Structure 1
Amino acid sequence: CLQSLSFRSMDARRQDIALAHSGTCDWLFETCAFQCWRDRSRLSQHNGVFWIKGNPGTGKSTLMKHILEHCQHNLEGYTVVSHFFNARGDPSEKTALGMLRSLIYQLITETAIYERFIHLFREKQQKHGPREWEWRDSELKRFLRDEIKCRQSEPHVLLIDALDECSPAHVRDVVGFLEDLSIESTRAEGSLNICLSSRHYPHISMATHQELVVEKMAEHNKDISRYIRDKLTKRNAEIEHSMLEKASGIFMWVVLVVTMLNKAYDEGKVEGMHRKLREVPSDLEEMFKMLLSTENPDKHETVLMLQWVLFARRPLKPEELYYAMLAGTSPDDLGARDWSRITPNDIRRRITNSSRGLIEFRQSQYNPLEVTAQFIHESVNDFLLRNQRLQELDSTLGSNSVGISHERLKGCC
């Protein structure tokens, strides 16, 4: 019964998100927006919905994970369930059906709900056989709506992260369903709270909700300042102030720049830290462009690696990505090298270096030895596919960068 809802990567995105840096994010719980959301006497102002919005890379997912842990530890008597959409993950991580399966799986760990769900499960088995069927959006929506109606006196919190990473075909349906849940609960004087996060685009909204914009919060900039102070190897007030000004609230930008400046310091280029900071663009996408455009004698290798992560039908293991890259750039080396001398660490360092730090490694929560390669952030994927960025990196791709990329990858196989 539970296995019919579960999928391997159900908790993967939540596990991948870094914990909030020490001493950050707690400010959110003191904001008027959060306090209003928690105040049931002001339900008419928000219908129990709290929507966190922000530009790409501001740290919304880290904030949502922090809220989840806060609710689990501090809201006694509440049932708290969550789903973290992931556009870079498996198909189930970015669909409405995957969200519904995840939420209901978490809810039915309670006996009363489990007994009602197993009745529905057995009906499906009797009708379709033990294996030849799948859950449909409509029946899981109905079950979730009915359960929340039946349990109006029992408080629930639903946290849904990264709505913008839900597939375009499903995102409006998801928002509409969640809005219907909030309205029905409010009318029935129930105790349902919904917390959402998304970018500002695509523009999808609800008629009634409480909203907070991350990059507009002064406390968010204080978090960034704290991170810079704690993470910079060489403390420098001028550099710290300049970084805060250029960051414009984008935490991902800060993380990348801190890494660059620490590398310069480790190489003894203390005087170069100021110059490096002046050269770095303040825009996150321009930062990606700079990283990929910097003098690179192995640019073909970099582009091919990015293409594999962009267009492979499934996430590749580091070893698969490494050998696929060699097959397309140095096919003669595949038979000539002594592969026993190439360690997993060698492969990961090569991928990190070739991708200019834009590819990271995701460890399976079920098997620590199962690792796949992915972009460090969904904004990297957006950057490469928008405004002909791939063609800028490789002019041979012409106007059909996606089609030619697929042909190139096919030639590596």
Structure 2
Amino acid sequence: MIDIQRYIDSTLAIDSSQSSEDIKSQILKKASGVFLWVALVIPMLNKAFDSGKTDALNKRLRELPTELSLLFHDMLMRDSEDCDSMLLCIQLVLLAKHPLSLQELYCGIRTGLNDPAPHSSLPGYYTMRRYILSSSKGLVVEVYLNSISSMQFIHESVREFFLVDGHRLQSVVPQYWPHLSNNFIGISQDALKEVCFSEMTTRIPDVDVMVNNFTRDYKNQRVTRSKVTKAYPFLQYAVSNVLFHSNEAQSYGVQQSDWIEQFPLPKWINLYNIWPDGATIHRPDVNMLYVLAWQDFPPRQAIP
């Protein structure tokens, strides 16, 4: 309780007064010793205070549920701002093949919203953090492991809210994202495939010159690879995993055969070879059957 009290004192940004002390006491009481509840609630209260809605702050606190799953539900349902970026953020954190960095997640969301981040003027670190915090409604944070950071849900219970707790999943999805209610994972995987594909096709004109230099000048491949990665933080993930998300969508019943048939394989190979998997570099003349087999994907996607 002492640690929670200290956290409240240090992070709740409201004026010092008797009413503020009452609010702190209410938070401590409603938290019932659950630190995560406090960590989720305080940003909401700070936002209300920053907006000048001091009279509504007490009412907001009283209405907040104490059960974590209901609090997640409340956070998603109450705030209707930036619904599209919130959905993309949750899909990317929930279903990405591996945890994304701050830059990857930021650029992935922007690409999915058809507003790709310009490579010449990426925002600063704190601007991107605020963007993710706003998009995720506070459910996604930066986590460090062995000095390497990635963007993950603030607690494993958030993931379980979508993937394990079937009852809660059904209570959120039809109301907030009705188009996902029948096949949340399959349609979400297909959406991530489209985000990756959009990142590829958007960046191809800009990267073509770099790729040509890459293939012609073997001595400077490392320098070129570093330049492309820095300019387009999400591109490596997109190229490496666009077929993975297509395969996952197919496994949940979202047909991919038409999309696979139109897939620009030569362009993908040029991009893929910037970041080869181990020593594997695909020749320009390989076909889709070979690529799908190489990635251990079942033949159901393959071109007839």
TM-score, normalised by the number of residues in structure 2: 0.54
C-alpha change, 1:304 and 1:242, in structure 2 (3 Å) is same
Describe how 1:122-137 pairs up with structure 2 within 5 A. none
Shift of 1:345: 2.7
**Residues 66-125 of structure 1: CA deviation (Å, up to 9, x unaligned):** xxxxxxxxxxxxxxxxxxxxxxxxxxxxxxxxxxxxxxxxxxxxxxxxxxxxxxxxxxxx
1:212-250 per-position Cα deviation (integer Å, ceiling 9, x unaligned): xxxxxxxx4x55445434543445343233223322332
Higher helix proportion (structure 1 or 2): 2
8 Å CA contact 2:31–2:66 kept in 1: the answer is yes
Deviations 1:187-235 (A, max 9, x none): xxxxxxxxxxxxxxxxxxxxxxxxxxxxxxxxx4x55445434543445
What is the total number of aligned residue pairs between the two structures?
A: 187
Instruction: Kindly indicate whether residue 193 of structure 2 is the aligned counterpart of residue 410 of structure 1.
Output: yes
Q: SS at the partner of 2:88?
A: helix
What is the match of residue 136 of structure 2?
Answer: 355
Q: Alignment partner for residue 300 of structure 1, among 84, 87, 111? A: 84
Q: Secondary structure at the match of 2:54?
A: coil
Residues 230 and 363 (structure 1 numbering): CA distance in 2 closer, same or farther, change over 3 Å?
closer
Q: 1:287 aligns with which of 63, 71, 96?
A: 71
Task: Report the CA distance shift for 1:274/1:324 in structure 2 as closer, same or farther (over 3 A).
Answer: same
Contact 1:303 1:393 in 2 (8 A): no
Asked whether 1:378 is paired with 2:156, we answer yes
Q: Decide whether aligned partners of structure 1 residues 252 and 267 sit closer, same or farther in structure 2, where only a CA change above 3 A counts.
A: same
Superposed CA RMSD:
2.5
In structure 1, what residue type is equivalent to 2:116?
L
Q: CA offset at residue 329 of structure 1? A: 2.0
Residues 223, 297 of structure 1: alpha-carbon distance in 2 compared, 3 angstrom cutoff: closer
- Opposite residue 44 of structure 2, the aligned amino acid is M
SS of structure 2 residue aligned to 1:340: coil
What residue number does 1:395 align with? Answer: 178
Q: What residue in structure 1 maps to residue 277 of structure 2?
A: none
Aligned to 1:276: 60
Q: Is residue 247–residue 282 contact of structure 1 (8 Å, CA) maintained in 2?
A: yes
Q: Is the 8 A contact 2:141 2:152 kept in 1?
A: yes
Q: Report the counterpart of residue 334 of structure 1 in structure 2.
A: 116
Mapped to 1, the partners of 2:26 and 2:12 lie a distance apart of 13
Task: Tell me, in whole angstroms, the C-alpha distance in 1 between the residues paired with 2:180 and 2:12.
Answer: 39
Distance 1:340 1:260, change over 3 A: same
Which one has the largest radius of gyration?
Answer: 1
* 1:284-309 CA-partner distances (Å, limit 9, x unpaired): 12211121112324212211110110
What is the TM-score when the length of structure 1 is the normalising length? 0.41
Whichever residue aligns with residue 371 of structure 1, its letter is S
In structure 1, distance between residues paired with 2:21 and 2:45: 14
| Distance (Å, rounded) in 1 between the aligned partners of 2:195 and 2:50 | 38
> How far apart in 2 are the matches of 1:357 and 1:224?
18
State the secondary structure of the residue aligned to 2:98: coil
Identical-pair percentage: 37
> Contact between 2:101 and 2:150, CA under 8 Å: does it hold in 1?
yes
1:343 paired residue among 121, 124, 140 = 124
In structure 1, the partner of 2:33 is 249
1:243 to 1:381, Cα distance in 2 relative to 1, 3 A? same
Residues 1:350 and 1:237: Cα distance change in structure 2 (over 3 Å): closer
- In the alignment, the residues of structure 1 paired with residue 31 and residue 48 of structure 2 have an alpha-carbon distance, to the nearest angstrom, of 19
CA distance in 1, matches of 2:84, 2:91: 11
Higher share in strand: 1
Could you report, residue by residue, the CA deviation over 1:25-59 in whole angstroms, capped at 9, with x for unpaired residues? xxxxxxxxxxxxxxxxxxxxxxxxxxxxxxxxxxx
- Secondary structure, counterpart of 1:372 in structure 2: strand
User: Secondary structure at 1:356's aligned position in 2?
Assistant: coil
Matches within 5 A, 1:120-269: 220=1, 223-225=3-5, 227-229=7-9, 231-233=11-13, 234-235=15-16, 236-269=20-53
Partner of 1:315: 99
The Cα of 1:342 is off from its aligned counterpart by 2.6
**Cα distance in 1 for residues equivalent to 2:21 and 2:3:** 16
How do 1:28-47 and structure 2 match up within 5 A? none
